[in-house]
Structure 1
Amino acid sequence: MRSRGMKASAIGVAALMGSVVLTGCGGDDEPKSGKAGAVSSASGGAGAREQGTAQVRAAYDKTAEAETARTTINMKLSAQGKSITTDGKGALDFQEGDSVMTITAGGKSIEQRVVDQVLYQKVPGQKVQGGKAWMKIDLKKAAQSLDMNGQQIGDPAQSAAYAKAITDKDVAKVGEEKIDGVDTTHYKVSVDLAKLPGGARMRQQVGSTLPMHVWLDGDGRLRRQQLDMTVKTPASASAKPDDSASPQQIKMTMVMNYSDFGTEVEADAPPAGQVADVTDEAMKQGRKQQS
């Protein structure tokens, strides 16, 4: 069903962001973006720009048509001289939004599943509420409570909305590159947040546009997508009026790779008796960050 878009990618992003909040693990490796230097002069013609725009707009649906894929995700958050890096690898179902992943952060390996828009995480050797092995967050409930209207910053799943928000002048061809041995075309893209659902809130946090880099294979599918942005966070309620560190700015880089399209994905919820629901705690943390 093409209309459902790449729902799993959005859930994967939310899950990774949730894992950073819940585990508090850190790292310092900078993700690589390939040859993202000067934009190719070949992109200068109007016809070339229009063709590139059409290919980028179609890429999300073409990727979703593959139904499933293996994925790796690297996300780095930096603020006030400190950084947190989270890496994930696994498989996802574009149609159903389910995924199974192993997340590595701060030397810890975290088992993660997303099933029916519910995030489950298990840290080996660590127990949560009531001595349970798994924690869970209802992602849909959390998004609604935080007035996000289902929209995550950098959510690549909003395929139709993103396509409408990209115009010819927002797409530039960078060049031809190989991703894991696959020939790809690299584009620099700018998304007008005013044209996205929930864009007004996002504009307050990241500015008027969302910068992206995408790499498309010969079939027009996404092989890599990179987001680079600076997110403004509200000043702490306890901050002094002359505190120059408020409001804070968080630099975020996220790189998502897709491969092995059509791979089998088996995502099952853990037994209910082994799961502790921490949705309310996650929402409280989210509200503190918004206040």
Structure 2
Amino acid sequence: MRYRGMKAGAIVVAAVTGSVVLSGCGDGDGSQAKRDGASPSASSSADTREQGTTEVRAAYDKTAEAESARMTIKMNLAAEGETVTSDGKGVLDLEEGDSVMTLTVQDQTIEQRVVDQVLYQKVPGQKAPGGKPWIKIDLEKVAAQQGLGNQQFGDPAQTAGYAKAITDKDVTKVGTEEIDGANTTHYKVSVDVSKLPGGEQLSKQVGPTLPMQIWLDDEGRLRRQQIEMSVKAPVSASAKPDSSASPQQLKMSTVMEFSDFGTEVNAEAPPAGQVADMTDQALQGSLQQS
């Protein structure tokens, strides 16, 4: 199996960007959801909008209180006339960010784990360099090189910083919908990317605002999150200084769904002797398995 440059870069960018977005849904108490210049005579529609903002900003913390959940993810990445599709299912530790999943990428099955912000992948029957069955990518190093800072993705303690990026004018209630037997409220949300940690660099990749849709259940927890955006992947680190290479433009569509809150999660790193570190190759856009 070979991940060509577009695929490797896209998957890494998606992993980092997706984690940032997931972490940015709440601040716990919604105390910053007050509208500037609000008065006692504000209209009921404005009050409803503010209530929706409060619920959206509190969503991640309320979801994290469940500690864990089953998750499915569907992703489409398109660039340079090529489309990569993937479907995944597994379990996620909502407090630590660890996960165990099985992915199907272009009809290829991949076993995946995320442990302590390190991504591990194994393709059954195939080997990484050195004959190792597993590869790993350090997501913190990827984030640092892409200018997103050395942050602990999914850490509830950092969600207040993300919540500042959402104001009442950025939240619109769409309606209600049933998802997997649960009643949900559907919202459209616009995130001010510049206010996210590492926002200056992130805005160069995804633009000034990040539109997304979320569905919250009756307990205020995330049941579905949908993101569609264009991402400028960084130029390969191996490109020559005088190279005319420009960032790849990736179109990314991601839908994540959560269910079975409180399910057991056993995420463990593979034995070190079975793992090939491919972080540098992934950043250079040359990740491959033989």
With the shorter chain as reference, the TM-score category is: 0.7 to 0.9
Aligned counterpart, 1:18: 12
Following superposition, the deviation at residue 248 of structure 1 comes to: 4.4
- Which residue in the other structure is 2:262 paired with? 262
| Structure-2 separation of matches of 1:151 and 1:170 | 25
Alignment partner of 1:89: what SS? strand
1:159 corresponds in structure 2 to 159
CA contact (8 A) 2:94 2:154 kept: no
Count of residue pairs brought into register by the alignment: 248
Contact 2:10 2:233 in 1 (8 A): no
Q: Secondary structure of 2:262's partner?
A: coil
**What is residue 274 of structure 1 aligned with on the other side?**
274
- The change in CA–CA distance for 1:281 and 1:144 in structure 2 (over 3 A counts) is same
What letter is aligned with 1:160? A
CA spacing shift, 1:270–1:234, aligned 2, 3 Å: closer
Partners of 2:120 and 2:247 in 1: CA distance: 32
Matches within 5 A, 1:66-145: 66-145=66-145
Contact 1:132 1:275 in 2 (8 A): yes
Tell me the TM-score normalized by structure 1: 0.76
Report the Cα distance in structure 1 between the residues aligned to 2:162 and 2:14, rounded to whole angstroms.
26
Say whether 1:46 aligns with 2:46. yes
For structure 2, the 5+ residue unaligned runs are: 1-7, 16-42
SS at match of 1:224: strand
The Cα offsets for residues 128-172 of structure 1, whole Å up to 9 and x where unpaired, read as 1111111112222232233321469x9897632331111110000
1:234, distance to aligned residue in structure 2 (A): 6.2
Deviation of residue 201 (structure 1)? 1.4
> Structure 1 residues 102-111 or 224-233, which shifts more?
224-233
CA distance 1:103–1:234, change in 2 (3 Å): closer
Could you say if the C-alpha distance between residues 202 and 140 of structure 1 is closer, same or farther in structure 2, counting changes exceeding 3 Å?
Answer: closer
Query: For 1:90 and 1:230, how far apart are their aligned partners in 2?
Result: 26
Q: 1:70–1:260: 8 Å Cα contact kept in structure 2?
A: yes
Q: What is aligned with 1:60?
A: 60
- Note the residue ranges of structure 1 that are not aligned, 5 or more in a row: 1-13, 22-42, 287-291
Moved over 3 A (4+): 18-21, 154-158, 232-241
Give 1:255's aligned amino acid: V
CA contact (8 A) 1:177 1:185 kept: yes
Mapping for residues 233-248 of structure 1, pairs under 5 Å: 233=233, 248=248
For normalisation by structure 2, the TM-score amounts to 0.76
Range with greater deviation from structure 2 (59-68 or 267-276): 267-276
The 3-state SS of whatever aligns with 1:165 is: coil
Q: Which residue of 2 aligns with 1:170?
A: 170
What is the rounded CA distance, in whole Å, between the counterparts of 1:172 and 1:19 in structure 2? Answer: 28
- The superposition leaves residues 244-288 of structure 1 with CA deviations (integer Å, 9 ceiling, x where unpaired) of xx66432111111100000000111112221111122123239xx
